[in-house]
Structure 1
Amino acid sequence: MKKCICILFAYFFANSFLLAQNQFVVQGKKGVDKIHFQLINNLIVIPVSINGVELSFILDTGVSKPIIFNFLNSVDSLQIKNSETIFLRGLGEDKPVKALKSTNNIFKIGNAVNVNQDLYAIYNAKLNFAPRLGIPIHGIIGYDFFKDLIVEVHYGRQFIKVINPTDFNNNKCKKCDVLPLEFFNNKPYLNINVTLNGRDVPVKLLIDSGGSDSLWLFEDEMLNIQVVNNYFYDFLGHGLSGTIYGKRSKVESVSVGRFVFNNANVAFPDAKSINHVKHFKGRNGSLAGNILKRFNLIFDYHNKRVLFKKSRYYKDDFSYNKSGIELMHDGLRLVTQKHRSIRQARVITTNVDDSTPVINNQVDYKLVLKPAYSISELREKSPAYNAGLKVGDIILVINNKKVEEFTLQEIMQKFYGKAGELIKIKIDRNGTELKYQFYLESLLN
């Protein structure tokens, strides 16, 4: 009996010691857990519990400390404590954003727990990814999660598997291509090759699962990293420090280990938007979600490596937005919907004992709240721009179907179709309904 008590005490002490450290540990005997995620616009959205509050985070290899924003507009909701004010700077041309650094927070992702996690809370209403993804997004998490665990990302089946390093089987992925990682400021970098303007160029790229594009390259004439003539200027995204614009183009090929992608999308962000991130002079850009999703990945930060294996997205086309429209979730609107009710009546004849039941289908109408999708960005001289659409227009109908039948991502996907496809749109502009149509246009040869 005493021996049993001692063993239990030792087990409890060992687990308590692990959880007391500033690191994630997968609880349970096997040291493994599977967590399902949503793949939205090539981004991984996972459930995260912070101090007992359930939230949704983007799993972003491009950040070090967890950042939380616009969650409940209340420090008390998450019981954020031990905070100090700091300023964070990211992509974009705006000024650094104000944040609170907080310590001793309890993070739980599946069965992976850290009882002493730092986080940065940003209270800036402009910094909100939810309208552009169509679902609530409360924050982003990266290095602090990856550094403590082996993280398998199964894009094809949309789940991640987290494993305590001591429980990981190194030989489990025999068909994987293993590539070494380099780290700078707690961010992972990968050396790959691109073929651009007829030249093979070795590049060092940040692995950025928090980016939805395929590839970003920083223009550098000395390194032959530049776009010559086959490009168009476009909105690229939003960063911590503002909106990012740049040139969109194609590269002849991208080689990630033994895997080669031809005619892949590439973007060249404006120099002013990336001044802050170019402090690491060896960095030439980012490898982002539209290429990463073509693999199932195993991140092994302990051994500074990442393992690649083809996913079901491997052969997907590299399409791009041929309309010029960017949409966002813009609150709610009242929509009239049909509601069919079944009512039973009795038809009475002259004989009181002879009555026939009759089923009467009656259509009622009801008002329901549905998401409103408005145009947030509109590329100049694009098909939608030339047709007469404007920023702020609320989309009501697309290709003869009401938008409430679709998610935000399903609507956006219609703008990535083949050149020449007809898009018909009905919009609400300041209370007036208008109809437009245009054809998708290819800008890259």
Structure 2
Amino acid sequence: MIMSRDVVKTHVFLWLFILLCTNLCCAPAAFAQNFGFTGKRTAQTMPFKFVKNLIIIPVFINGKGPYDFILDTGVGPMVITDASILDSAQVRTYTPFKVFGLGAGIDLNALFTNKISVGIGHALSETTPTAVLADDIFNLSGYVGQPVYGLVGYSFFKSFVVRIRYDSKSLTFYNTARRVRYRGERIPIELTLNKPYLRAQVRTDSGDTLHTRLIIDTGGSHSLLLETFRNGAFPLPDTTIEANLGMGLSGMIAGKMGRIRSLQIGAFHVPDVLTGFPSFEDVAKKTAGSDRNGNLGANFLKKFNIILDYNGGFIYLKKNFYFQERSEHDMSGMSVFVDFEQADRLFVGRIEPGSPAQEAGFESGDELLKVNFKAAKDLSLTELDELFRSRDARPILVEVNRQGTPLLLLLRLKKRI
């Protein structure tokens, strides 16, 4: 298994950045600076790339770029995962910082600075609190299938009223003093450690309605994660499967996948929500007592066009055409990533035990050559991801290269949740 390159299909960022941002919030000057428009501009609309449910926007760093960053409500400081975009002499002046892992293993070294200038469209922040990772253990670019250099979050959202139109893939941000026409249902949010939370009701298989507090996470490609309830593990549905829910600082996060009966946010009722339940001992236990029950990801949020108003304390939700879409779990049982160091080639990462991929004979490290007779290099990771979620019992013919030997494997998708 190629652990250093293995990239999880969902929840790839959550565990690192919750802990990283919690620690950085303790820094005295953290988050003191905000973005502002240059000149007399009071608003701007720009398109974004929408890849694996993630919003990717162009960002200028210290006047250079643009570099693609993920727009992520789940992070406090900006996070740079590829330090090559920074001046090496300046990097040596940054403050060392240690991030302690979730899951067994080593810790991760990082650097902290507020000496970075960040430009997004016509908005500029001259001194942006930033965490620079010494190593990108998540291989974000490989996960997304294109170069990605980091994540930007709280400083941007705190500076503007932000409208995200998932249906048209456009982002509009307004000066907080400008009058904005709000559309949709207004839901109160709370900011804790510079991350937004909302209240939601979870209906379980037992018929209980559990009142939960969830992080709003545009930077998580999943639908919903439920971690804890009353300082214990969150109650599981009747039917679950073992699943790999994400990458901790030093290893994979184990857990289960299932479906809750329904999720209620304000007047919006969504049945049969695909949900991850992280291992309580590995992850959730470390957040017990934090008044957080879980994490609401972009695969759920995209059902709405949203307006986030951190200063007003609200999110506005308006249904779009994604609302009726049913989320499906991966039916292949394997992760695929792009290796940019090997001419953008696609490789198999982790294979789930007992999955269709294992039964078909795939091995970690196999290079994908053709998928249904189409060159794999001509397929985006989003297209592959959609294919692997498409239909129960669907046959997919895959040609792989295994250590120089070409093999033809028949993958038959299986709906497990």
Equivalent residue, structure 2, for 1:354: none
Q: Which residue of 2 aligns with 1:183?
A: 191
* Matching residue within 361, 364, 367 for 1:394: 367
| Aligned-partner residue type, residue 58 of structure 1 | I
How many Å separate the matches in 1 of 2:289 and 2:295? 13
Q: Identify if the C-alpha distance between structure 1 residues 32 and 137 changes in structure 2 by more than 3 Å, giving closer, same or farther.
A: same
SS in 2 for 1:418: coil
User: 1:30: Cα distance to partner?
Assistant: 3.6
1:151 CA displacement? 1.0
Which is richer in strand? Answer: 1
Aligned residues of 1:49 and 1:108 also touching (Cα < 8 A): yes
Q: Secondary structure at the match of 1:173?
A: coil
Q: CA deviation at 1:82?
A: 4.6
Q: Is structure 2 residue 174 aligned with structure 1 residue 160?
A: no
Partner SS, residue 84 of structure 2: coil
Q: 1: CA distance between counterparts of 2:322 and 2:152? A: 24
Are 2:203 and 1:195 aligned?
A: yes
2:237–2:258: 8 Å Cα contact kept in structure 1? no
Q: Which structure 2 residues correspond to residues 399-418 of structure 1 after superposition, within 5 A?
A: 399-418=372-391
Instruction: Supply the AA of the counterpart residue of 2:381.
Output: L
Q: Which has the larger radius of gyration?
A: 1
**What secondary structure sits across from 1:227 in the alignment?**
coil
Identify the structure with bigger relative contact order (alpha carbons < 8 Å, sequence gap 6+): 2
Deviation string 1:208-251 (CA, Å, 9 cap, x unpaired) is: 11111100001447789311440111112234554322100011
- Listed one character per residue, the Cα deviations across residues 57-108 of structure 1 (whole Å, up to 9, x for unaligned) are 111111111111124176438x447521111246554433211111232111
Contact kept, 8 Å, 1:89 with 1:276, in 2: the verdict is no
1:164, CA displacement in angstroms? 0.7
Q: Secondary structure at the match of 1:303?
A: coil
| Deviation sequence 1:172-229 (CA, Å, 0-9, x none) | 134x111111121111111011111122111100111111110000144778931144
TM-score, with length taken from structure 2? 0.87
Letter in 2 for 1:190: L
SS of equivalent residue, structure 1 residue 168: coil
Aligned to 2:273: 264
In the other structure, the counterpart of 1:420 is 393
Q: Whole-Å Cα distance in 2 between the matches of residues 429 and 188 of structure 1?
A: 45
- The CA distance in 1 between the partners of 2:62 and 2:100, in whole Å, is 26
The residue aligned with 2:145 is 134
When residues 420 and 208 of structure 1 are mapped into structure 2, their CA distance, relative to the original with a 3 A threshold, is same
Counterpart of 1:84 in structure 2: which amino acid?
A: T
Q: Deviations over 1:302-351 (max 9, x none)?
A: 11111111123222121110110110002466xxxxxxxxxxxxxxxxxx
1:26–1:33: 8 Å Cα contact kept in structure 2? Answer: no
Letter in 2 for 1:67: V
Quick one: which amino acid aligns to residue 232 of structure 1? I
* Change in 2 beyond 3 A, CA 1:91/1:306: farther
1:383 maps to what in 2?
356
Report the 3-state secondary structure (helix = DSSP H, G, I; strand = E; otherwise coil) of the residue aligned with 2:159.
coil
The 1:200–1:276 alpha-carbon spacing in structure 2 relative to 1, beyond 3 Å, is closer
Q: Distance in 2 between matches of 1:196 and 1:36?
A: 38
Tell me, yes or no, if structure 1 residue 294 matches structure 2 residue 303: yes
Could you state the TM-score of these two structures normalised by the residue count of structure 1? 0.81
Show the counterpart of 2:409: 436
What is the percentage of aligned positions where both structures have the same residue?
29
Q: CA deviation at 1:49?
A: 0.8
Which residue identity does 2:308 align to in structure 1? F
**C-alpha contact 1:392 1:429 (8 A) present in aligned 2:** yes
Is the contact made by 2:227 and 2:233 (CA closer than 8 Å) also made in structure 1?
no
1:56 maps to what in 2? Answer: 68
Q: For 1:130 and 1:383, how far apart are their aligned partners in 2?
A: 26
AA aligned to 2:199 is N
Q: Deviations over 1:341-382 (max 9, x none)?
A: xxxxxxxxxxxxxxxxxxxxxxxxxxxx5x311111111000
State which drifts further: 26-35 or 431-440.
26-35
Question: Partners of 1:89 and 1:53 in 2: how far apart?
Answer: 31
**Structure 1's 223 and 277: CA in aligned 2 closer, same or farther, altered over 3 A?**
closer
For these two proteins, the number of residue pairs brought into alignment is 384
- Displacement, 1:390? 0.6
The 1:319–1:102 alpha-carbon spacing in structure 2 relative to 1, beyond 3 Å, is same
RMSD of aligned Cα (Å): 2.2
- 1:147 touches 1:301 (CA, 8 Å); kept in 2? yes
Letter aligned with residue 387 of structure 2: K
Partner of 1:22: 33
Q: Could you tell me which of 80, 83, 105 is aligned with 1:68?
A: 80
